[in-house]
Structure 1
Amino acid sequence: MLPPDRRPSPPRPALLASLLALLLGLAGLAAVPSASAASSTYLCTGYVACSKAGYPSGGYRTEGSKMWWRMYAGHNCTNYVAYRLVKSGASSERPWSGSGNATNWGVALSGLVDQTPRVGAVAWYKANGGWAGSSGHVAYVEEVVSATQILVSEDNWGGDFDWRVVTKGTNGWPDGFIHVNDTPLEVVSEPVVSGDVAVGETLSVDPGSYAEDADVSVRWFAAGTRIKGATALTFTPTVAQWKKRLSVRVVAKATGYARTVIDTDRTHGVRRGTIEVTTDPVVTGTAQVDQVLTTSLGRYSPAAAATKIAWYADGTRVRGESGRTLTVTPDLVDTRITAKVAASTEAYKVQRATTSETKDVAPGVIRLDDPFGLDGRAELGDALTVAPGTVSWPTDADVSYEWLRGQTTSNARSASSTDGSGVSEDSLTYTLGTRDVGKQVGVRVTVSRPGYTTEEFVLRSGSLTTTSSVLDLDATPRVRTREVRVKGTQRTRTVVNRKVVVNAGVEAPGRKVVNGAVRATLTLADGTQQVVEGTLEDGTVRLVLTNVPRGKQKIRVDYLGTKIVEASAAKVTVRVPRR
């Protein structure tokens, strides 16, 4: 077929009309519809009237002077439909060679013809049908009301532009529909995937919204490959999708429109999921040195493929302990123990679950198989000896001895070599000395080990016999006189100053030197007393009583005693001369 700009010289009018109809494509309809028009309802006729009624020509009123797909310009069904198809996005080149008459469209494009009307499709009429003339007819489907009713716009050779309603079952219904570039369903909002893109986390897709009520279906893809069975609006990635990028293909269908297919943007690669702790691990056992604590592993969703355990004391890692049990060691005393379980499985982040704290770790218990004892007699000069007991646990416990002197342990004082009694090097024996006289002597045995409760035992001897003091008194009175002159009188008197000097000595068995206080008491006939006290030096003391009355006098001398030597007393009688 020759293009219009290379047509031969025009023949006579009748032949010219036939030739133009063949080469350019002319509508088979007359300007005035035939009697069969009753099968269609006209909504408007003419560019102006239709535009005012809200039925536009899509711009053909001004663009119809051009040839589209090499069809005849002006009022012509084929040029109008070709214009509408090109403006909808179809190629500007006619998609076939040969006759452009309307009746040939369905033949040349037979692979695109079916009986389903869609917006933007070509309503095709064969030649000499109930509606079309000898050249056939084409119209543009504007709306699909239902499967049996459509609205078309058209232009007519030798006629005018119009819109009409066509009902199926009448001779106005097209012989077929050519789907060159059907109008897709208008997308108001694009579909979007939302949610945490991670294994085990549920994602959602908003399928978008459309200008018409549409049925939508979705398909989920991972790295461009369809995920079998994933056709819901939600999807939970599994290990199979780990690290892959996801997308969703949304297919929207509405009556009269070609299906609309939209692929969402791909997400980032699916991240590791989060393991859920469904049951926390728990530590059982007694928090005490030498006891064994045990931790459960807990439960997880999904189930953990592997677990690792770490033990902590007051939040500090206990080195070297990674099993389900922990033997409590002395260095953990007064701390609180926890266990952390790290659960892991493929494509999931490691989840760490921590047990609750135990009570403060209590010290361990020292165990004795045989008790300690104390041998020896409580006599001056004898030795007391500790009979060692047997410490069965811990085997490296420290045992120490402290010798005590006192009536009770509450006021006991440590005995030491400074007492003059001596303590053996191994501290197991102690020789009783004079300082121990009258006191209860014992030994405090201390069994200790860091991290264990210290055990103490006080072993006591009987009391030593008290040593009595012996007073050796030398009370030799000496009277000294001196003359005193008293002025104011004519007489002179001689005053005699009468003194008694008492030299007292104190001795005690087992003591080289006795110390302490000595008191001399002079009691007169009228009951009054004169008291003089002094302190022994090297076992002796000199006490002086003055102004002692004449005659025979009795003096009591008391040694007041110490913690070691008991008190003692002696009496002496002296005669004071009258001169």
Structure 2
Amino acid sequence: MRPLRRSALPTVLALLMTLAVLALPAPAGATITRLCTGYTSCANAGMSSSGYAAASGQMYWRMYSGHNCTNYAAYRVIKNGYSSTRPWDGSGNATYWGTQMSSITDRTPAVGAIAWWRAGVYPAGSAGHVAYVEKVISPTEIVISQDSWGGDFSWARITSTSGWPSGFIHFNDRRMQSVSRPVVSGKPAVGSTLSATAGSWNPSSPAVLYQWLAGGEPVQTGSRNTLEVTRAMVGKRIQVKVTASKGGYADASSRSERTAPVPDTVLVNTVRPVIEGTAQVDQTLVASGGRWTPRADTRSFQWKADGEPLPGATGRSLALRSDLVGKALSVTITAERAGYRSATASSAPTAAVAPASLVVQQPPVLEGAPVLGETLRLTTVGTATPDATRDIQWMRDGAPVSGATTRQYETTRADLGSVLTARVTWSREGYRSVREEVAAPAPVRALTTLTPVVTEGTGRFVVDATVTARGVAVVPSVVQVVRGGVVLAEQAVGEDGTVRLVVRDQRPGQRTYRIIVPVTDVTTRVVVLQDVTIS
């Protein structure tokens, strides 16, 4: 720990200079664990003196040779590439190293730094102590190598509980060393992606930062080892600068070789793609490839619906499915040529895809009389091509009858006077619905019953008739006696359903008369032929 003695005056000056320097804070406590002792023993344990065992007979920075902490520390700093001339004047005692080199002394350990203890700080004696930092395990744990005045060479582990250094002097800390340069791969063309290796480093597995340069100017910095080549880089050479860092080591950088200049090779679309065909379900659209300058080697297609890519629709043609109804279709073509950046062009959108049409064979057929209590039936409902869902709905004067959705329908009082229609609808996704309607031939009416009783007389006869209709309280009609198309008598049906008609001025003889109840909105027409003898 002692340097070569010099005259008293320089020593006094050095002491005054030391007092003028702002002292570092007192070190925290540390625990020191000896790992090996002696050049040979340490070397056998893989903890060498970096050649000091053979060079210890020489003085470095005018320090005493042999077992001496300052001579060993100076040797290691010089071996790492620092000047062989001591960087300060005055005393070389270890206690002064940190104060004389206060501008590069702090409390942060680093591989290659000099651990420094003031005089009296454990384990240093009155002259202080210095050692070489071999490894930084954490900010509070280090491994050092050291030699000692009157002692021996050794390695030790120190943790901050007792004996922690007063500071660390960073003459020329160990730096990351580039073993092999980064390599950029990929084609330097607009639109392409370049990638870079980090190169190899000593020590290995450092954290790396990539800085991409175009024409020597930074264009991207971060953890990404890839670069998208843009138009702004045309004519420029691409290079990557990799900075490696690892705990306890100073950062270092290494640059790759520069690429060839990025060429301005771009395919140009001269004729826009065109879509041919009808935009309707079950139709097929076909895309023309457009034209490119220079001519494209390959072309790929991507169909889109309302601007969104259709999964799997990458052929030249597109069969239109029902789920495309209402959407405008377009196609984007990507053209490629060796040595050129790929380029894209899109067609104009089509009109919205229209639904297809169903074809119905055998329209529906309705059978049955529109009479109250009778059943109307659809004997034929027809078929549709392609297959479609069929729905039946009975209508009363154009309004749906609730629950009436089967092929047959039994008339009710609610239907009296109304026209019934059977509506058959065929539907399928992506197709226009087809609707067929078949109506009953007449409004629904109650069946009228006429019971006449004739009383014959001289020159006349009397008809007493009873008129009824199912579901109708009073038949809203009249009873007529007709012969030869001439109405001979007519009388309204009474509220009790009866009526009397007197037919006068008839010539004697036997004749056939027609007794009629005319049709109304809610009742049917009825005719009874009656033979009458006039005296």
TM interval, shorter chain, is 0.3 to 0.5
Q: How high is the TM-score relative to the length of structure 2?
A: 0.46
Which is greater in Rg? 1
Provide the TM-score with structure 1 as the length reference. Answer: 0.43
